[in-house]
Structure 1
Amino acid sequence: MRQLSADELAAALPRDGTLPGYELVGPPRTSDGDKPQSVVGPAACRPLQDAFSAPASATAAAWVNLTPDTFVPPTESLTFSSYRPGGASASLAALDKALTTCATYTLQGSYGGPVTVDVERVELPDAPGDDALSFRTHWVLELDGSKSDTFRLTTAVRVGEATLTLASDIGAGSELPEAKKRALMPQLNLDLLKSQTDALRAAQRR
């Protein structure tokens, strides 16, 4: 399957009204491999943070934000990324290695200071694509004396020489009981993942 440009990736993304139960937040955005990367430590854990958007090794990417029609909807993003030959496989292998070695990592940048991110691998039954990995991350931010928890579910799927990433974030006040926090955690929409895997595969075959 062939390498795709940013415009071709954007064209393969869904349009508003084509995903039952979802609304798109704005038009697709693109990058030709120049998206800014967060500061992550240790460096071996960087694939975990990069997977949220476009990995640094991608030659092009396109993404769109989604809002599901649910109570307390998470913030979701869908990203298509393309690579040079062998790059998509290497990206998933690096992510798998990071999931094996990094129970936590630190993040700096847009959060305003060092934040410790907890990592947990999620089993992915009946996964689409050629390879797939899924994991949850959790961190706590403090602002003006108030603490909030953020939970993110990230799933990466390799499709030939491209990947798709579906990431879902939700925030909760740290004072909430643990049972309520667990109830709010994003859940994977496997039907959405499969439909977008098919769309990305079809784009590479055109």
Structure 2
Amino acid sequence: MSFNRGRSLSSAACAGAVTVLVAGCSSAAGDAAARSAESSDPSTTASASVQPLTAAELAAALPSNGSLPGYLVTGTPRTSTGGGPSDPDVRPEACRPLWDARSGVSVTSVARAWVAITPSGFAPPTEVLTFAGYGPDRADAYVGSLDKALDACPSLSFVSRNGDRTTADVERVASPGAVGDATVSFRVHWTVDLDGFESDTFALITTVRAGAATVTAMSDISVGSRLSTSKKNAFIPKPDLVMLKSQADALREAQAR
């Protein structure tokens, strides 16, 4: 899916100065040269000049039904401006970005748009695609925050719908391949006992940065805890490299308009 939107110091001035001033001039000249080089760096210039995609532009970049091979788009896009609130019930606090990502929230984004999709096949998981737009350098920082949180969070806890505090295991998933500018993928797993019936929920969250925007794919599936490990593994969501790349490309196209 897809976001578009010197001075030189006089050597004569230093020539008659005392040693400490000469050193100061040399340092200032170096700083000026560095600033000049930085301003002429196309990647720096592009980052500073890019305009974040609006919520409407993000929504327009999301797939429509029939445009995403292997998937059905099961709803209409929804949008939000701003990053949205982080979940205060998640503990430790350092793990909040991970749980927020599962909810499609990135607190530093300028706007978001999301839509529900369903992969074809038996017992498909619940899946949501979220596009988010950022100001200069914020998308890269956001992906970095997820990576940092994964290093700090082998597990986290959250408050379930019935008010119980539930502990979930967190596992980093190996990068699915060369997708976008940066990719972070992880799985969260927890068990729920409902009147004696235990079920395991597996959530896969993959975030891909494409320029100043990100696409996050979140898949949730619940299976009976009594199933064998091999059968559970058959249901656990895996990153879809082809789909992720197509959505990162769509975000790039939107940014190029």
CA distance in 1, matches of 2:160, 2:119: 28
Q: What TM-score, normalized by structure 1, do the two folds share?
A: 0.95
Higher helix residue share: 2
User: Could you say which residue in structure 1 is the equivalent of 2:91?
Assistant: 41
**Paired position in structure 2 for 1:9:** 58
Amino acid at match of 1:33: G
Aligned to 1:58: 109
How far apart are residue 37 of structure 1 and its match?
A: 3.5
Q: Is the 8 A contact 1:64 1:77 kept in 2?
A: yes
1:123-182 deviation line (CA, Å, top 9, x unaligned): 114221111111111011222222211001111011111111011111101111122111
Using the aligned pairs only, state the percent identity: 52
Distance of 1:92 and 1:152 partners within structure 2: 18
Which has the larger strand fraction? 1
Displacement of 1:109 in angstroms is 5.0
Aligned partner of 2:138: which letter?
Answer: G
Unpaired stretches in structure 1, ≥5 consecutive residues: none
Unpaired stretches in structure 2, ≥5 consecutive residues: 1-49
- In structure 1, the partner of 2:191 is 140
CA deviation profile, 1:71-108 (whole Å, cap 9, x unmatched): 11111111000112121111111100111110000112
Which position in structure 2 is the counterpart of 1:112? 163
- Distance in 2, Cα, partners of 1:125 & 1:79: 18
Cα contact 1:2–1:205 (8 A) shared by 2: no
Q: Please tell me the residue identity of whatever aligns with 2:93.
A: A
Say which of 172, 186, 190 aligns to 2:241.
190
Q: Distance in 1 between matches of 2:75 and 2:195?
A: 31
Cα distance change on mapping 1:34 and 1:194 into 2, 3 Å: closer
Do the aligned residues in 1 keep the contact of 2:215 with 2:248 (CA within 8 Å)? yes
Give CA-to-partner distance per residue, 1:41-63, whole Å, 9 cap, x none. 11101111111212111121000
Q: Name the SS of the counterpart of 2:175 in structure 1.
A: coil
TM-score, length of structure 2 as denominator length: 0.77
Question: Which residue of structure 1 lines up, in the alignment, with residue 75 of structure 2?
Answer: 26
Residue pair 2:86, 2:105 contacting (<8 A) in 1 also: no
Cα deviation per residue 1:14-47 (whole Å; 9 max; x = unaligned)? Answer: 0011112211111011111264543211110111
